[in-house]
């Protein structure tokens, strides 16, 4: 889908592993088979990286050390989603080594296989298979080497914890470390060995505690801003007060009086640098830099009209049947509009990068979800070759799609070059809000119809700027058409907004599921059916029915025709192959207009589960974070200015908001692992608005449902459309 292309190449195509085949690899290696040798980056790895696919050579993914420890390399990054643990589980399982012998190296462009970036709940789904394949091949080769070493047939040997032994004589054994001696394995198999069947798993599929837990509770875990280099300076940069504002002139004389301050002007960038961050802050405050006002005239109130007016030429996302025929079959029709405002990523760790330049080589430590993309950005900005730029990704303090661009990385690299010192750029919270690529404000119009049997006969869906993900109907609807007028990235939506917008955890889907599942409830009400019954009545998809029934069983409360006054809600969806159903119970303080979410149950079918504990943590996180965009999170802006600059006015979920959260993981190991970092958040808008309707009988059509909007709705007996 076009509006999902926020990176400049075909993601799905490039995520397919195995771009470089064995024959090409041999050609690169000159055809000779060397058993063991030690080098840094293999040529094959470099080639594969250049070609932008996952490499074929299993050495790119793992290395067995002389001490027996196994290092796993992944171009993905760890930002809290927990793949640091699930990748280690997958590798340990397939290689037959203890989990605690695995060390993870992630997001280092010099050491790790190329990767498009960590987003879209794609890490396990797309990196998992080549990682497992690499480990299976390494294990098979190690068996061959052991057979030669022990002069025993492979069938007569077994492996446990990285030690291959003769089954009938376990004393006759050799360890992986003894076989490889810390060197790279240069024997490969023409025919790829099969990976283990899930029924053989003893590490994968078992609830596992986070491997980064200890580093994170002791303060030892390093984030980009924790990198300290000799002579490093902290840079602060003059920013416009509003998007679209132009600099008039600049007076740096007062800042120049600060001891040891360095001031750099490079075209439009004016930066102050000092060995202490807070002194650089002070110097920045002394710079006089008046700007022309922005020409942008939009604000929160005008934005929906502006967006609708900017739309042209919708693209068909999916269609079936014929809408006119469907309309002719309908005995009841529905016509509703749904809105959501801009939402910030608000990661706890602001965008940060540290850059060091030595000659024509640059090393950058970056808080990024896309280190290989950042590598390209830095190379281009500095005029360096790609291989002379190394991006290292320490732990990342949340991303949610907000750390895909490399703006701060390029700033640090340029300033390091100009100052001839290592430089750290760490945005302030205000900069974080200003340059955030918000989840776009969006409008969804849905027209639909039911026949006399309460079956949905037509569905006409107009999506203005949400992005099309999860907008394909999974209910039985013979006549439907889904149109998108632009999404959250690049073309279309990108130019329409007064500031940057982008992917936000579950991009597109949060808005679509909110609209779709709200609308399903509108029809259920008209059909005189309870919302669970109506959904099941209009579904044949067995997986979807299964997650709905699993959630209902856990929820343990029966739904009635809404509004029942009980405050129960349902929403279900298919997020890129992960199916889920969420049920919630809310209470409303009508005087204050406050929604209190008491309980949320989420049943999810993620296919094969690598770390059940990790999946549950992600669902809980999704539910909690999702409360924000349901209840309070809305970026306020005016004339290009972002009015929310910190957490005093931009309210994100807190301890006191917490509902009881219960998770159900459906057992479906026959299906390859799907994603789990995002799916559950996408159901939150739908489930909470439906629960609110069940409680007070008012259909809220704008997110977030702030106390002011709830009170207004209660006063007027209906929701406003702003």
Partner 1 sequence: MEKTFNFNLNGKTVRVTTSPERMLLWVLRSDLELTGTKYSCGEGFCGACTVLINDEAVLSCQYPVQEVNGKEVTTIEGLQDNGKLHPLQTAFMLHNALQCGFCTPGMILGAHNLLLKNPQPTSKEIVEAMEGYLCRCGSYNRIIEAIQTAAQTMKGQRS
The binding site for partner 1 (CB under 8 A) comprises 79-82, 209-210, 212-223, 225-226, 228, 234, 275-279, 346-350, 395-398, 426, 428-429, 613, 617, 620-625, 646-648, 652-658, 660-661
Least gap, CB of 659 to partner 1 (angstroms) = 9
Least gap, CB of 78 to partner 1 (angstroms) = 8
Least gap, CB of 124 to partner 1 (angstroms) = 16
* Closer by beta carbon to partner 1, 268 or else 278: 278
Bridge partners of residue 587, in order along the sequence: 596
CB burial readout 95-104, b (16+ within 10 A) else e: bbbebebbeb
Least gap, CB of 226 to partner 1 (angstroms) = 4
* Closer by beta carbon to partner 1, 68 or else 626: 626
CB-based contact 138:179 (threshold 8 Å): no
Alpha-carbon gap, residue 706 to 341, rounded angstroms: 11
Least gap, CB of 647 to partner 1 (angstroms) = 4
- Residue 715 CB partners (closer than 8 Å, separation 6+): none
* Closer by beta carbon to partner 1, 510 or else 701: 510
Q: What is the dihedral of CA 521, 524, 525, 527, to 10 degrees?
A: 160
- Residue 506 CB partners (closer than 8 Å, separation 6+): 469, 470, 575, 622, 678, 679, 681, 682
Least gap, CB of 424 to partner 1 (angstroms) = 9
* Closer by beta carbon to partner 1, 545 or else 599: 599
Alpha-carbon gap, residue 564 to 235, rounded angstroms: 57
CB-based contact 676:578 (threshold 8 Å): yes
Least gap, CB of 565 to partner 1 (angstroms) = 27
* Closer by beta carbon to partner 1, 213 or else 528: 213
Least gap, CB of 628 to partner 1 (angstroms) = 9
CB-based contact 139:93 (threshold 8 Å): no
* Tokens describing residue 301: 């109130």
Omega before residue 559 within 30° of 0, cis: no
* Closer by beta carbon to partner 1, 223 or else 474: 223
* Tokens describing residue 47: 């080639």
CB-based contact 505:625 (threshold 8 Å): yes
* Closer by beta carbon to partner 1, 225 or else 492: 225
Least gap, CB of 155 to partner 1 (angstroms) = 41
* Closer by beta carbon to partner 1, 208 or else 296: 208
How many other β-carbons are positioned within 10 Å of the β-carbon of residue 640? 20
* Closer by beta carbon to partner 1, 278 or else 553: 278
> CB-based burial of residue 22 (10 Å sphere; 0-12 exposed, 13-18 middle, 19+ buried)?
middle
Instruction: Report which of 240, 245, 225 is spatially closest to residue 287, judged by C-alpha positions.
Output: 240
* Closer by beta carbon to partner 1, 27 or else 654: 654
Alpha-carbon gap, residue 258 to 252, rounded angstroms: 11
Alpha-carbon gap, residue 99 to 91, rounded angstroms: 8
Least gap, CB of 678 to partner 1 (angstroms) = 13
């Amino acid at each position: 889908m076009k509006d999902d292309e926020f990176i400049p190449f075909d993601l799905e195509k490039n995520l397919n592993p195995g771009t470089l085949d064995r024959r090409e690899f041999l050609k690169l290696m000159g055809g000779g088979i060397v058993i063991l040798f030690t080098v840094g980056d293999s040529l094959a790895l470099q080639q594969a990286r250049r070609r932008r696919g996952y490499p074929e050579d299993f050495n790119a993914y793992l290395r067995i050390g002389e001490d027996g420890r196994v290092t796993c390399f992944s171009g993905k990054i760890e930002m809290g989603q927990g793949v640091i643990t699930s990748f280690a589980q997958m590798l340990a399982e397939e290689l037959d080594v203890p989990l605690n012998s695995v060390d993870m190296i992630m997001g280092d462009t010099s050491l790790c296989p190329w990767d498009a970036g960590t987003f879209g709940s794609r890490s396990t789904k797309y990196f998992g298979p080549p990682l497992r394949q690499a480990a299976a091949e390494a294990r098979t080769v190690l068996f061959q080497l052991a057979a030669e070493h022990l002069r025993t047939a492979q069938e007569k040997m077994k492996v446990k914890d990285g030690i291959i032994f003769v089954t009938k004589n376990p004393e006759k054994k050799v360890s992986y470390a003894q076989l490889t001696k810390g060197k790279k394995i240069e024997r490969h198999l023409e025919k790829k060995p099969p990976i283990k069947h899930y029924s053989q798993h003893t590490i994968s599929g078992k609830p596992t505690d986070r491997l980064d837990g200890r580093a994170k509770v002791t303060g030892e875990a390093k984030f980009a801003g924790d990198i300290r280099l000799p002579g490093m300076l902290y840079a602060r940069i003059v920013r416009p007060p509003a998007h679209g504002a132009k600099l008039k002139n600049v007076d740096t004389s007062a800042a120049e009086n600060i001891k040891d301050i360095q001031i750099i002007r490079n075209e439009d960038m004016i930066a102050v640098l000092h060995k202490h961050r807070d002194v650089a802050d002070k110097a920045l405050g002394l710079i006089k830099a008046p700007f022309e006002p922005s020409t942008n005239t939009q604000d929160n109130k005008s934005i929906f009209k502006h967006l609708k007016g900017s739309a042209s030429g919708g693209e068909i996302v999916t269609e079936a049947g014929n809408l006119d025929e469907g309309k002719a079959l309908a005995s009841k029709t529905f016509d509703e509009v749904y809105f959501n405002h801009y939402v910030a990523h608000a990661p706890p760790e602001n965008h940060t990068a540290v850059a060091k330049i030595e000659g024509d080589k640059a090393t950058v430590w970056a808080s990024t979800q896309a280190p290989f993309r950042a590598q390209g950005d830095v190379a281009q900005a500095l005029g360096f070759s790609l291989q002379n730029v190394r991006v290292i990704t320490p732990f990342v303090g949340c991303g949610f799609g907000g750390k895909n661009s490399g703006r701060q990385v390029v700033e640090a690299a340029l300033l390091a070059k100009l100052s001839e010192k290592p430089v750290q750029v760490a945005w302030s919270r205000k900069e974080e809000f200003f340059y955030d690529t918000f989840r776009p404000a969006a409008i969804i119009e849905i027209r639909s119809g039911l026949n006399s049997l309460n079956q949905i006969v037509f569905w006409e869906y107009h999506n203005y700027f949400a992005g099309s993900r999860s907008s394909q109907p999974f209910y039985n609807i013979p006549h439907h058409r889904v149109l998108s007028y632009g999404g959250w990235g690049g073309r279309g939506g990108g130019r329409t907004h007064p500031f940057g917008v982008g992917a936000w955890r579950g991009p597109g889907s949060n808005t679509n599921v909110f609209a779709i599942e709200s609308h399903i409830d509108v029809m259920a009400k008209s059909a005189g059916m309870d919302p669970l019954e109506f959904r099941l009545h209009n579904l044949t998809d067995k997986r979807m029915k299964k997650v709905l029934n699993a959630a209902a069983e856990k929820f343990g409360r029966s739904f009635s025709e809404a509004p029942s006054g009980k405050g129960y809600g349902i929403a279900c969806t298919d997020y890129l192959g992960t199916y889920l159903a969420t049920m919630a119970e809310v209470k409303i303080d009508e005087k204050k207009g406050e929604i209190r979410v008491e309980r949320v149950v989420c049943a999810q079918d993620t296919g094969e589960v690598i770390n059940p504990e990790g999946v549950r943590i992600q669902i809980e996180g999704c539910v909690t974070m999702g409360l924000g965009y349901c209840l309070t999170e809305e970026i306020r802006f005016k004339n290009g200015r972002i009015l929310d600059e910190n957490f005093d006015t931009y309210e994100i979920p807190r301890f006191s908001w917490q509902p009881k959260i219960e998770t159900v993981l459906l057992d479906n190991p026959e299906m390859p692992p799907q994603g789990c970092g995002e799916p559950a958040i996408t159901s939150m808008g739908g489930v909470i608005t439906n629960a609110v309707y069940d409680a007070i009988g008012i259909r809220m059509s704008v997110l977030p449902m702030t106390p002011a909007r709830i009170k207004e709705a209660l006063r007027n007996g209906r929701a406003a459309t702003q």
